[in-house]
């Protein structure tokens, strides 16, 4: 977006601000004791009391009509109790957004740091980065809140599994793997919510969405509002539910959002098993459940699931809903109560949950500028140099190198000319993706590249949809024929893939394929193909084209995406001065590692090692597999190939986790047990050893708390520094229709040329080796498991042994006795976990 456009947008936004004062410089908060001293005596305004007592006190003071008014996302003010109107709906998927209206921009806060879209950040496989981004976003949110520009409740992150490459919202998610998605959820939520000054309180409240099995938006006439996802218990247990489980349990997120779709015939927002049973019951949510906007209305009007609006309201509240994004519940709750379908107690329960969260974020503590740890934050803390640097770094860390023939990349800067061609070469707002706000700045690919070399620009197509009218081949071919190097920046934008719009093909949109072919044929020098997109394309033709020497996927890279692209193309990387602390846990001990914040690189070039968080399929996949088929597992009887690297039986273009590097990393050796034995008491049905798998519920009961180390060395045997993600997969025995392999752990490390480092993973037998059976129950499969990292494999056998019914725990059978070094390497001489 040009500065002029941005100005115009701000102007328009300010005209739209009739419902609240957009130029407000004061925060919205309750219990303003300064203005109304009588409030001080009310227990709900007493910050020393616990959130639940305060919420209950507040509820006890409200009339039924007032209570109902708190059930929609836009509450009205209740002056007699000193409570102003509040908009629950703010978004911060990859930076504070204007979506929802709870947060907005103005002349006072013209922008906030806009990080890469989540899919690219996930490609960094850097858990510390996920958390740091969350932390910076929540700091900017708090700064905006202090000047009346942001709420305190954010409906982020989106942690649905990117199950099908066509999904328009895949860009918003951390990809197709439940473990990566879960780790992202936990880290990002921690970054958003963690209040370092008071663990009982929240910096801001995050929300895990969209619960659950929601990942069809609008495909060939199938709409998310009426889609009925048919999901097996098994897929539910090991694919769709884990991210939500981790987000709520380990991430302690203060909110979960139920989705629009139905799961096995029931709308998620009206399913007591999914809401009260699982989220609040099994996972013990400390927070609120909100609808997608406006799921209760959808349940009645679009799905015709209930006969009356009142029934829809009653069903959702009785199922465990606490807050309705929209007005439907507020409009119909009174009638539902009059008709006896709903009780006032149901309303009390719901608003107690929401008030409790508002207590925890400090909304009822008075002026946030005067109380609490974030009082000093303001516009000066938004778009700071270090925040902008982190957005740049995140894009850099995620970029995936898919082809690098003749080591064409990185290019050494010099006096050559570069043709920069393609509909995304001058991308600005396209670099932000769904759920954006206004950024601090834009650095388009053309801006980024032009800062280093002489460029000749020709768009080739005016739009990504690239039809015959918008295609301008000749100037693009002329530019490529003239320049020493050609960089083609192609891909998609929100006219191709976005919320409410799924793709129907993995081929490049419109005539972009022709543009690529013809420009490449005309080019004088090598071609580097850059894809800016929220998902994969079928790039088999481009991989086979010998003139296309380099291929990069840059996701939707955020405000500084073009700078990150240029830095990757030229091999530059300036790690930030952020103190990077991560905990690594081994079975024997835990330690903290603080990276040298002033890391200096000994070599000129470096690559930060993004890896694809999704599978790259051929076009035939989408032509043969309906997007609406939710099954993860293949069905040999019908030729259904299954989905994602865990199940897909076809040969993909690239597997999940694929990504080349400018340097060469070798995995030197594996040190892991050869056999593992699970202890069972004599009452256990598998005690005598005649089972092929053990139910996790029974195995964890006693003498089975087992963990073990897997250790290996990574060597940077190339001549450039770089970061590398070690992905540890396990192939379980083929029992219970288990995944053919699953990601069990990963760790990202940085290595100088020639440097070696030890990496160790502590695996938990029950947690990391188990699989969900056909009924969705977790079981530990006995027999042969194969661990793999890169091209290293290590096979071990899992068996059972009998342990006594009573008496002390037997010593773990995992003493050093059964370690085996992989035949391809020799065991490390000593156990060291720091860098060599």
Ligand X SMILES: *[C@@H]1O[C@H](CO)[C@@H](O)[C@H](O)[C@H]1NC(C)=O
Tell me the catalytic residues: 292
815 scored as a contact of ligand X (CB under 6 A): no
Binding to ligand X, residues 689-728 (CB under 6 A): 723
129 scored as a contact of ligand X (CB under 6 A): yes
Minimum CB separation of residue 752 from ligand X in Å reads 12
41 scored as a contact of ligand X (CB under 6 A): yes
| Closest to 314 (Cα-Cα) out of 293, 329, 303 | 329
132 scored as a contact of ligand X (CB under 6 A): yes
Q: b/e per residue, 611-641, with b = 16+ CB within 10 A?
A: bbbbbbbbeebbeebebeebbbbbeeeeebb
Binding to ligand X, residues 725-784 (CB under 6 A): 748-750
Binding to ligand X, residues 140-159 (CB under 6 A): none
49 scored as a contact of ligand X (CB under 6 A): yes
Nearer to ligand X, 128 or 795 (CB): 128
Q: Give the H/E segment covering residue 188.
A: helix 178-193
308 scored as a contact of ligand X (CB under 6 A): no
Minimum CB separation of residue 664 from ligand X in Å reads 17
36 scored as a contact of ligand X (CB under 6 A): no
Q: b/e per residue, 545-570, with b = 16+ CB within 10 A?
A: bebbbbbbbbbbbbbbbbbbbbbbbb
Of the listed pieces 122-130, 348-356, 474-482, 736-744, which binds ligand X according to CB under 6 A? 122-130
2 scored as a contact of ligand X (CB under 6 A): no
542 scored as a contact of ligand X (CB under 6 A): no
Distance CA 582, CA 584 (A): 6
Q: Which of 232, 352, 608, 770 binds ligand X (CB under 6 A)?
A: 608
Nearer to ligand X, 38 or 815 (CB): 38
- Residue 148 DSSP class: T
User: Are 800 and 745 contacting, i.e. CB atoms less than 8 angstroms apart?
Assistant: no
48 scored as a contact of ligand X (CB under 6 A): yes
Distance CA 562, CA 445 (A): 4
Packed helices 385-398 and 127-146: angle between N→C axes, nearest 10 degrees: 150
Of the listed pieces 199-207, 278-286, 576-584, 788-796, which binds ligand X according to CB under 6 A? 576-584
Minimum CB separation of residue 722 from ligand X in Å reads 9
Binding to ligand X, residues 434-473 (CB under 6 A): 467-470
Helical spans, DSSP H, in 471-598? 473-482, 512-522, 540-544, 561-569
| Closest to 712 (Cα-Cα) out of 817, 646, 791 | 791
Q: b/e per residue, 241-250, with b = 16+ CB within 10 A?
A: bbbbbbbbee
> What does R_g of the chain's alpha carbons equal in angstroms?
27
Nearer to ligand X, 260 or 355 (CB): 355
596 scored as a contact of ligand X (CB under 6 A): no
Nearer to ligand X, 680 or 714 (CB): 714
The widest CA-to-CA distance across the chain, in whole angstroms, is 83
Minimum CB separation of residue 41 from ligand X in Å reads 6
Minimum CB separation of residue 721 from ligand X in Å reads 10
106 scored as a contact of ligand X (CB under 6 A): no
Minimum CB separation of residue 607 from ligand X in Å reads 10
Minimum CB separation of residue 170 from ligand X in Å reads 23
Long-range contacts of 786-789 (CB under 8 A, 24+ apart): 786/730, 786/731, 787/670, 787/672, 787/710, 787/728, 787/729, 787/730, 787/731, 787/744, 788/728, 788/729, 788/730, 788/731, 788/741, 789/667, 789/670, 789/712, 789/726, 789/727, 789/728, 789/729
Question: What distances in angstroms separate CA 833 from CA 586, 630, 758, 836, one per listed residue?
Answer: 9, 42, 6, 8
46 scored as a contact of ligand X (CB under 6 A): yes
Nearer to ligand X, 239 or 606 (CB): 606
Nearer to ligand X, 275 or 391 (CB): 391
Residue carrying the six token digits 């004062």: 21
Nearer to ligand X, 38 or 415 (CB): 38
Nearer to ligand X, 26 or 579 (CB): 579
User: Are 171 and 634 contacting, i.e. CB atoms less than 8 angstroms apart?
Assistant: no
- Count interface residues toward ligand X (CB under 6 A): 24
393 scored as a contact of ligand X (CB under 6 A): yes
40 scored as a contact of ligand X (CB under 6 A): yes
Which residues are at the interface with ligand X (CB under 6 A)?
A: 40-41, 46, 48-49, 126, 128-129, 132, 393, 467-470, 575-576, 578, 580, 595, 608, 723, 748-750
């Amino acid at each position: 977006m040009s500065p002029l456009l941005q100005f115009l947008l701000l102007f328009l936004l300010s005209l739209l601000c009739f419902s609240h004062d957009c130029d407000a410089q004061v925060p919205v908060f309750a219990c303003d004791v300064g203005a109304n001293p009588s409030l001080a005596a009310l227990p709900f305004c007493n910050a020393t009391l616990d959130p639940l007592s305060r919420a209950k006190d507040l509820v006890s003071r409200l009339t039924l009509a007032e209570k109902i008014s708190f059930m929609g996302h836009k509450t009205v003010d209740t002056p007699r109790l000193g409570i102003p109107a509040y908009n629950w709906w703010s978004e911060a998927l990859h930076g504070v957004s204007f979506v929802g209206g709870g947060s907005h921009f103005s002349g006072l806060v013209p922008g906030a740091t806009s990080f890469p879209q989540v899919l690219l950040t996930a490609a960094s496989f850097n858990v510390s980065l996920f958390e740091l981004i969350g932390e910076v976003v929540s700091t900017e949110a708090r700064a905006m809140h202090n000047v009346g520009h942001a709420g305190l409740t954010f409906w982020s992150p989106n942690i649905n599994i990117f199950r099908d490459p066509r999904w328009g919202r895949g860009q918003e998610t951390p990809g197709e793997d439940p473990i990566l998605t879960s780790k992202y959820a936990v880290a990002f939520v921690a970054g958003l919510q963690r209040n370092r000054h008071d663990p009982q309180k929240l910096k801001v409240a995050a929300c895990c969405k969209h619960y659950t099995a929601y990942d069809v938006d609008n495909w060939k006439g199938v709409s998310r509002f009426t889609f009925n996802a048919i999901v097996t218990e098994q897929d539910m247990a090991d694919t769709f539910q884990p991210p939500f489980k981790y987000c709520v349990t380990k991430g302690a997120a203060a909110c979960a959002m139920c989705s629009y779709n139905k799961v096995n015939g029931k709308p998620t927002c009206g399913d007591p098993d999914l809401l009260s049973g699982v989220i609040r019951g099994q996972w013990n949510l400390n927070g609120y459940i909100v609808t997608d906007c406006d799921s209760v209305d959808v349940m009645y009007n679009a799905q015709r699931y209930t006969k009356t609006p009142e029934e829809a309201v009653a069903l959702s509240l009785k199922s465990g809903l606490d807050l309705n994004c929209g007005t439907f519940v507020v409009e119909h709750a009174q009638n539902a109560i009059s008709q006896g379908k709903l009780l006032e107690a149901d309303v009390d329960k719901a608003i107690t949950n929401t008030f409790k969260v508002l207590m925890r974020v400090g909304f009822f503590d008075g002026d946030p500028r005067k109380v609490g740890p974030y009082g000093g934050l303001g516009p000066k803390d938004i778009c700071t140099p270090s925040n902008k640097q982190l957005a740049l770094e995140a894009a850099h860390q995620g970029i995936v190198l898919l082809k690098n023939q003749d080591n064409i990349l990185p290019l050494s800067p010099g006096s050559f000319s570069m043709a920069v061609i393609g509909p995304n070469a001058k991308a600005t707002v396209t670099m932000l993706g769904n759920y954006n706000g206004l950024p601090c700045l834009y650095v388009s690919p053309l801006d980024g590249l032009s800062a280093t070399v002489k460029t000749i620009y020709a768009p080739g197509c005016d739009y990504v949809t690239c039809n015959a009218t918008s295609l301008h081949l000749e100037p693009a071919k002329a530019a490529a024929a003239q320049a020493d190097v050609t960089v083609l920046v192609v891909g998609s934008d929100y006219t191709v893939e976005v919320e409410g719009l799924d793709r129907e093909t993995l081929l490049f949109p419109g005539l972009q394929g022709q543009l690529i072919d013809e420009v490449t044929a005309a080019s004088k020098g090598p071609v580097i193909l850059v894809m800016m997109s929220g998902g994969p394309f079928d790039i088999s033709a481009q991989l086979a084209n010998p003139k296309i020497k380099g291929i990069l996927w840059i996701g939707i890279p955020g405000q500084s995406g073009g700078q990150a692209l240029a830095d990757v193309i030229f091999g530059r990387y300036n790690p930030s001065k952020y103190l990077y602390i991560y905990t690594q846990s081994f079975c024997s001990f835990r330690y903290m590692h603080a990276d040298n914040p002033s890391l200096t690189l000994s070599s000129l070039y470096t690559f930060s090692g993004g890896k694809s968080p999704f599978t790259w399929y051929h076009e035939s996949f989408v032509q043969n597999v309906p997007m609406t088929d939710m099954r993860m597992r293949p069905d040999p009887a019908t030729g259904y190939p299954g989905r994602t690297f865990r199940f897909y039986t076809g040969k993909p273009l690239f597997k999940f986790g694929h990504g080349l590097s400018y340097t060469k990393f070798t995995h030197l050796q594996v040190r892991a047990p050869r056999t593992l034995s699970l202890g069972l008491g004599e009452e256990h049905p598998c005690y005598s050893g005649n089972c092929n798998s053990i139910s996790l519920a029974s195995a964890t009961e006693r003498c089975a708390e087992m963990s073990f180390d897997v250790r290996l060395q990574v060597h940077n045997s190339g001549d450039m520094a770089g970061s590398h993600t070690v992905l540890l997969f396990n192939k379980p025995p083929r029992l219970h229709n288990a995944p053919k392999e699953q990601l069990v752990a990963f760790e990202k490390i940085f290595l100088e040329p020639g440097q070696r480092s030890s990496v160790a993973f502590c695996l938990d037998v029950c947690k990391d080796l188990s699989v969900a059976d056909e009924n969705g129950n977790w079981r530990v499969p006995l027999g042969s498991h194969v661990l793999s990292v890169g091209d290293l494999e290590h096979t071990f056998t899992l068996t059972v042994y009998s342990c006594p019914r009573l008496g002390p725990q037997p010593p773990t059978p995992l003493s050093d006795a059964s370690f085996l070094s992989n035949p391809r390497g020799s065991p490390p001489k000593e156990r060291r976990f720091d860098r060599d």
